[in-house]
Amino acid sequence: MKTLENKVAIITGAGSGIGRSIALLYSSEGAKIVLTDINEQNGNAVLNEIKAKGGEAIFVKTDSSKPADNERVVEETMKKFGALHISVNNAGVGGPLMFTGDYPIEAWDKVISINLSGVFYGMRYQIPAILKSGGGSIVNIASIMGKVGTKGSPAYVAAKHGVVGLTEAAAVEYADQKIRINSIGPGFISTPLLTNTLDEATINVLKGLHPMGRLGTSEEIAELALWLNSDKASFVTGSYYNADGGYLAQ
Enzyme catalytic residues: 156
CA dist 148 and 128 (Å) reads 32
- Kindly state the helix (H) or strand (E) to which residue 40 belongs, with its residue range: helix 40-52
Helix (H, G, I), strand (E, B) or coil at 202: helix
Beta strand 8-11 with 86-89 is parallel
Contacts of 211 (CB under 8 A, 6+ apart): 245, 246, 247, 249, 250
Distances (CA, A) of 183 to 104, 140, 175: 28, 5, 15
CA 20 to chain centre: 10
Distance between CA atoms of 195 and 16, rounded to whole angstroms? 13
Beta bridge partners of 5: none
